[in-house]
Amino acid sequence: MVKRTSLSSNYAVAYAVKMADVDVIAAYPITPQTHIVEKLSEFIANGELDAEMIHVESEHSAMSATIGASAAGARVFTATASQGLELMHEILHIASGMRLPIVMAVASRALSPPINIWSDYSDIMNARDTGWIIYIVSSAQEAFDTIIQAYKLAENKEVLLPVMVAFDGFVLSHTFEAVDLPEEEEVRRFIPKQVTWYTLDPENPMTLGPLGPPEWYYEFKYQQVVALNKALEIAKQVDDEYGKVFGRKYGLVEPYRLDDAEIAIVAYGALASTAKAAVDEARKNGVKVGLLRLRLFRPSPVEEIAKYLENVKAVGVMDRAISFGAPYGGPVFADIMEALYMKGVDTLLSSFILGIGGRPMYLHDVLTVINKVKEIAESGRRTIETYYIGVRE
């Protein structure tokens, strides 16, 4: 029986990890992620989750211990944010390169300096090329559902890659919403324990993490490319299966009122909810605008992006991270541009930066974006400016 309860995204993640019957957790405290490991510690302390928590001395060791535990055949979990994700950066590459099905939650937060504990996606964008599968979710319910999907995807024999599930620090991590929790038994049936990867076993000894000379290294990396491509297909299947069992599915991207749209905006994370309200508001004033929410960041769902944006005159991409010195605009803007150009979709693109370091993003901020995109569509001219919404110059 489904149980409706009130949970923050942090707690929703903790419940999902508990239901996934994780064996080993290694984590280090960092705001705004800490509630996840606090809750998991409670579950273990109370005997509700039969797992061991390794109280590591850094995030670097958190990812390292997680790798060790996964390589030994355990189902593992860790969580972090911001500086913590940066500290584990080196080991992120090794987790994916060693093809270990690690699942990690990231309560996204700005990077220092100045030190700032509030939300933006600078941390996630730096992890872009680490070879991880990266979801960015928009609600506590979706955080719960995506953690379960993440184990299913990561442990698929054709994938065997680590998965990161990111959501806005505070705005989602600390905000309570209604969440439907399925039966634990049902979750465990959906993601049964099957060790599909190579492990450290004295009965069948393997050398994991060898030296890869030039005549072999390239093939190792290419296999990661193949696995990530495969992950795109399997992520869809997992979402469909999840939908059948639990009644909720999300797609790799989420279109909102795009059917008859003349212009579009693109968002990810909690901003997408504000953006939906802004689309509704703008439509009341006769602006035919729609929203595309990006849910799977890596691997990039290029087909879906092109499919939903091919018929609009202009697209404004809202980024919550700055790509310093980039040719134009934010990091996701660059992705969208690349996807559309390569798919032969010729539309007027513009880049918007907002919500940096926890700067609030109001309805009127998104309406400002919509108006600008409308102006660009009407002028028919390409813009080379990146719009920094809400900054004091």
Partner 1 sequence: MTNQYYRSIADLPREELFARGHRMCQGCAAALIMRWLTKAIGKDAIIVNATGCVEVTTTVYPYTAWKHPWIHVAFENAAAVASGVETAIKMLKKKGRIPKDKDIKIVVVAGDGGTYDIGLQALSGMLERYHDVMYVLYDNEAYMNTGIQRSGGTPLYAWTTTTPAGTVWRGERRPKKPITDIVAAHRIPYVATANPAYIVDMMNKFKKGLEIEGPTFIHVFSPCTPGWRIDTAKTIEVSRLAVLTAVWVNYEIENGEFRVTSPVPRRKHVRHYLKLQGRFRHMTEQEIEEFQKYIDKEVERINKLAGKEVIGPVVE
* Residues 6 or more apart in contact with residue 121 via CB below 8 angstroms: 108, 136, 166, 268, 269, 319, 320, 321
Q: Which is nearer to partner 1, 205 or 344 (CB)?
A: 205
Name which of 109, 100, 10 is nearest 63 in CA terms: 100
* Residue position matching structure tokens 């997680």: 66
Angle between helices 59-71 and 89-97 (to 10 degrees): 10
What is the spatial distance between Cα 65 and Cα 28, in angstroms, rounded to a whole number? Answer: 11
Residue 55 CA to residue 61 CA, distance in Å, equals: 10
DSSP type of residue 106: E
CB of 122 to partner 1, least distance (A): 24
> 60 or 174: whose CB is closer to partner 1?
60
Q: With respect to partner 1, which residue has the nearer C-beta, 46 or 244?
A: 46
Cβ proximity to partner 1, 204 vs 392, nearer residue: 204
Q: How far, in Å, CA of 132 to CA of 80, rounded?
A: 15
* Total number of residues shown for the chain: 393
Q: Do 143 and 106 touch, CB atoms closer than 8 A? A: no
CA 37/CA 28 separation, integer angstroms = 8
Minimum Å gap between C-beta 47 and partner 1 is 13
Shortest distance, position 194 Cβ to partner 1, whole Å: 11
- Complex with partner 1: residue 46 or 207, whichever CB lies closer: 207
Minimum gap (Å) between residue 265 Cβ and partner 1: 41
* Residue numbers at the binding site for partner 1 (CB under 8 A): 23-24, 26, 50-52, 54-58, 60-62, 64-74, 76, 90-91, 94, 98, 193, 199-202, 204-213, 216
Closest distance of CB 90 from partner 1, Å: 6
Which CB sits closer to partner 1, 64 or 138?
64
List, in sequence order, every residue forming a beta bridge with 45; answer none if it has no partner: none
Q: What distance in Å separates the CA atoms of residue 171 and residue 183, rounded to the nearest whole number? A: 27
- Report the C-alpha gap between 82 and 120 in whole angstroms: 9
Q: Which residues contact 190 (CB under 8 A, 6 or more apart)?
A: 148, 152, 241, 242, 245, 246
CB of 200 to partner 1, least distance (A): 4
User: Exposed e or buried b for every residue in 185-214, given b needs 16+ CB within 10 A?
Assistant: eebeebbeeeeebbeeeeeeeeeeeeeeee
Cβ 347 vs Cβ 289: under 8 Å:
no
CB of 206 to partner 1, least distance (A): 6
253-256/289-294 β-pairing: antiparallel
CB of 203 to partner 1, least distance (A): 9
Residues 6+ apart with CB under 8 A from 154: 101, 102, 103, 133, 160, 161, 162, 163
- Give the residue with the Cβ less far from partner 1, 193 or 364: 193
CB of 101 to partner 1, least distance (A): 13
CB of 217 vs partner 1, minimal distance in Å: 8
For partner 1, the closer of residues 8 and 64 by Cβ is 64
Q: Which is nearer to partner 1, 202 or 327 (CB)?
A: 202
CB 72, min distance to partner 1, A: 4
- Minimum CB distance to partner 1 smaller for 100 or for 264: 100
> Whose Cβ is closer to partner 1: residue 176's or residue 216's?
216
